[in-house]
Amino acid sequence: MAHDSLLEIKNLMTYFHLHEGIVRAVDGVSFEVRRGQTLGIIGESGCGKSVTAHSILRLVPSPPGNIVNGEILLHRGENGNEDGFVDLAQLDPRGADIRAIRGAEISMVFQEPMTSFGPMHTIGNQIIESILLHQEGVDGSEARELAIENLRRVGIPRAEQIVDAYPHQLSGGMRQRAMIAMALSCSPRLLIADEPTTALDVTIQAQILELMTALQEEYGMAVIFITHNLGVIAEVADEVAVMYLGRIVEQAGVNELFDNPQHPYTQGLLNSIPHIDEAKLARLRAIEGVVPDPYDIPSGCAFSDRCPSFMPGKCDSAMPDLAATGPEHRVRCFLYSEAEEIVTEVADG
């Protein structure tokens, strides 16, 4: 495996066991996050993008959710050193090991800055708590200084006053900045951002995206950026994974993906949105149908019932593999099945 790999996920399956049946929210996802890079995960609701992120930090509520298979390898060793890694999938979700990782080595920014801060404590106290938990030899007043420093770094004006504010006293944009300040307070090596700008206005979204890009350069951390917005993903990601119903259907470098989308679903998504900087179409080219019910996924390829290139007898009989179609491009589709190399299961360690 490449030596600069920070996080490797191999064949992850996270299932929810509900009364109505088993929901295969994440069903065999493999990817790799390299140090300092941004992996964008894009998909519609129910595609498993958030459950993937929650699985990494072991935040999937259990019951009903369970990681039933797969490895989540967090590499700790420096370049070339293969020894230092931990399999997050094997950790006790309530144990000390994962708690030492959450917020320190891997931290997360959520979509709803209002609900992800506790309402009863000041912003400062919540950031200080995280610093005191994870950084040894830091006392209370130093932690407070660090918290103010972090708030200042994410562009919050009057940080020494805001540190004593309660979450409800801040606007949505400021709250999201504070959320980022808290996530970065222990200099994580991986930041998972789950729809961090979806609840914000476009001008505020632009500010937050710029901030995150700048901070990523400054801290040299890797980012998993989850969103449903193709415009946002084009801006922030180095590599993009497109998910549909629990599986990655296409994965490529960001330029390659947007220049040469291969999976019919990716093509459909790109065609269906209005492009503000292109000539206006009389009608949008919508994808037919709706995302199927999670209990009632079509047999064969999950996208087969909506696919314009549907091949009867082939697409509805088996799930295609995620196969390489280029040096940096993998697609899960029978249209490309002549591609020589099959890389579904990452065999080497």
Partner 1 sequence: MADDSDLLLEVNDLKMYFPIQKGLLRRTTGYVKAVDGVSLSIKKGETLGLVGESGCGKTTTGRCIVRVYQPTEGEIVFHDEGEAVNLNLLARQELKAFRRNMQMIFQDPFSSLNPRMTVLELVGEPLLAHGIARGQELEDRVAEMVNAVGLKVEHLPRYPHSFSGGQRQRIGIARALVQRPRLVVCDEPVSALDVSVQSQVVNLLQDLQSELDLTYLFVAHDMSVVRQVSNRIAVMYVGKLVEVAESEELLRNPKHPYSETLLSAVPRPNPHHAMQRLSLEGEPADPANAPPGCVFHPRCRYMEDICQTEVPELTELTPGRHVACHFADQLQLQGIDYSASMES
Residues in touch with partner 1 (CB under 8 A): 44-45, 171-174, 201-207, 209-210, 228-235, 254-255, 258, 268-270, 272-281, 283-287, 290-291
Min dist. Cβ of residue 233 to partner 1 (A): 8
Question: Please, which residue, 136 or 296, has the CB nearer to partner 1?
Answer: 296
Min dist. Cβ of residue 51 to partner 1 (A): 16
Per-residue b or e along 319-347, where b marks 16 or more CB atoms closer than 10 Å to that residue's CB = bbbbbbbeeebbbbbbbbeebeeeebeee
Please give the Cα distance from 86 to 149 (Å, whole number).
31
Computed on alpha carbons and rounded to an integer, the radius of gyration of the chain in Å comes to 21
Of the candidates 219, 300, 302, the residue with the CA atom closest to the CA atom of residue 265: 302
Question: Please, which residue, 142 or 256, has the CB nearer to partner 1?
Answer: 256
Q: What are the structure tokens assigned to 251, written together?
A: 């994965």
Please give the Cα distance from 341 to 149 (Å, whole number).
49
Pairing relationship of beta strands 65-75 and 85-87 according to DSSP bridges? antiparallel
Min dist. Cβ of residue 244 to partner 1 (A): 10
Question: Please, which residue, 148 or 230, has the CB nearer to partner 1?
Answer: 230
Spell out the residues 6+ positions from residue 197 whose beta carbon is closer than 8 angstroms to its own: 176, 204, 205, 208, 209, 227, 229, 232
Question: Please, which residue, 45 or 79, has the CB nearer to partner 1?
Answer: 45
Min dist. Cβ of residue 288 to partner 1 (A): 8
What does the DSSP 8-state code read for residue 8?
E
Question: Please, which residue, 254 or 315, has the CB nearer to partner 1?
Answer: 254
What does the DSSP 8-state code read for residue 175?
H
Question: Please, which residue, 260 or 299, has the CB nearer to partner 1?
Answer: 260
Per-residue b or e along 131-154, where b marks 16 or more CB atoms closer than 10 Å to that residue's CB = beebeeeeeeeebbebbbebbbbb
Question: Please, which residue, 1 or 281, has the CB nearer to partner 1?
Answer: 281
Other C-beta atoms lying within 10 Å of the C-beta of residue 64: 13
Number of separate helices (H) and strands (E) present in the chain: 11, 12
Min dist. Cβ of residue 286 to partner 1 (A): 4
Min dist. Cβ of residue 177 to partner 1 (A): 11
Positive or negative, the CA dihedral 36, 246, 72, 21 is: positive
Alpha helices in 73-112 (DSSP H): 96-101
Question: Please, which residue, 107 or 304, has the CB nearer to partner 1?
Answer: 304
Min dist. Cβ of residue 236 to partner 1 (A): 9
Other C-beta atoms lying within 10 Å of the C-beta of residue 229: 14
Amino acid at 278: E
Min dist. Cβ of residue 234 to partner 1 (A): 4
Min dist. Cβ of residue 300 to partner 1 (A): 20
Question: Please, which residue, 120 or 279, has the CB nearer to partner 1?
Answer: 279
Residue 68: its H or E element: strand 65-75
Min dist. Cβ of residue 5 to partner 1 (A): 23
Amino acid at 250: E
Question: Please, which residue, 98 or 204, has the CB nearer to partner 1?
Answer: 204
Contact status, residue 26 vs residue 13, Cβ threshold 8 Å = yes
Q: Where are the beta strands (DSSP E) in 90-227?
A: 106-109, 190-194, 222-227
